[in-house]
Structure 1
Amino acid sequence: MDVSLRPVHDSDLPVFFRQSNDPEALHRAAFTPENPADRDAFEAHWARIRASEQVVARTVLGDGDVLGSAAVYGEPGEREVTYWIDRAYWGKGIATAALRALLAEVDERPLFARVAADNAASLRVLRRCGFEVSARAAGYAPARGAEIEELVLTLGP
């Protein structure tokens, strides 16, 4: 499958909203909005993302279909990557290909990532892209309704 990135279009948002309400994906991601089904909050969140000059937000395409999103956000020196891939495409290398494409586009380093410690698949994606575990933390995970262990990963100097 040919994986590519492009800027986010208005027509992508309904797909992102559907993807971000998948119960299994929410559990795995863990650190999600308190109420992912709140459409107004979702729309406001994406409006802020798309209006910010500090955010590089991209739609992940696979053979032209919207498969998810990937982004870099945050202040210089503290910028983080994030990605979300539709569960139907998990285990097919899509997340790795999308993150590699995003990292090729955004050359600043260091970059950081955060992942639930038990999210082995996302941890593999990050490690394949050169991220290394640099810290452990605990934080409240809304999708699980509990505090869980989180790994912080770093790419670059």
Structure 2
Amino acid sequence: MVNTDVSLRPVHDSDLPVFFRQMNDPEANRVAAFTSPKAAEWDLFAAHWNGLRESPDVVVRTVLADGDVVGNAAVYGEPGEREVTYWIDRAYWGRGLATAALRELLVEVPERPLYARAAADNAGSLRVLEKCGFRVTAAARGFAHARGEEIDEAVLMLG
């Protein structure tokens, strides 16, 4: 892990083009698997993100590493069923940034339980979640838009 200052802040308008580029990386999409078809079209992407930012039920943050925008992290969903999600630019994978960002988000949003889902073969994301205290509680199958097929999924919980 690189010694990097990781912080979270509210999402700014200027972050959206960076997120759009990051979330349209074909390799990152394949690994994440469960992506939105809205991510590929700017107008749908921007409308989705503006909705997230305006929702009182969503906590969404920009992830910064040494001041640079490297991704995003969020908590969303109904009380008692809220989930975490995060996206880190592939250029920064393997440096511990997702783990640091998720830990910071979990301090900001202390409610429990929280849930997470990851493609069962996404070892990196599963490691991040487990380092932050999530435990696999179930297995599921779901349609992975980025792969165009149904795949195995791990369901995790932080109690």
What is the TM-score with the length of structure 1 in the denominator? 0.98
> Tell me, what secondary structure is at the counterpart of 2:150?
strand
* Equivalent residues in 2 for 1:27-46, closer than 5 Å: 27-34=30-37, 36-46=39-49
Rounded to whole Å, the distance in 2 between the matches of 1:120 and 1:5 is: 24
Match of 1:48 in 2: 51
**Structure 1: gaps of 5 or more residues:** none
Partner AA of 1:17 in structure 2: F
> Tell me, what secondary structure is at the counterpart of 1:26?
helix
Cα deviation code 1:51-98 (max 9, x no counterpart): 100100000000100000000000100000000000000000000000
Rounded to whole Å, the distance in 1 between the matches of 2:76 and 2:21 is: 22
Partner AA of 2:129 in structure 1: L
Partner AA of 1:81 in structure 2: V
Paired residues, number = 156
Corresponding residue to 2:87 among 84, 87, 90: 84
Range with bigger deviation, 135-144 or 32-41 = 32-41
> Tell me, what secondary structure is at the counterpart of 1:78?
coil
**Structure 2: gaps of 5 or more residues:** none
Partner AA of 2:107 in structure 1: A
Partner AA of 1:47 in structure 2: N
Give the fraction of aligned pairs with identical amino acids, expressed as a percent.
Answer: 72
Residues 1:124 and 2:124 are matched in the alignment: no
Match of 1:66 in 2: 69
RMSD: 0.7
Alpha-carbon contact 2:72-2:87 (below 8 Å) kept: yes
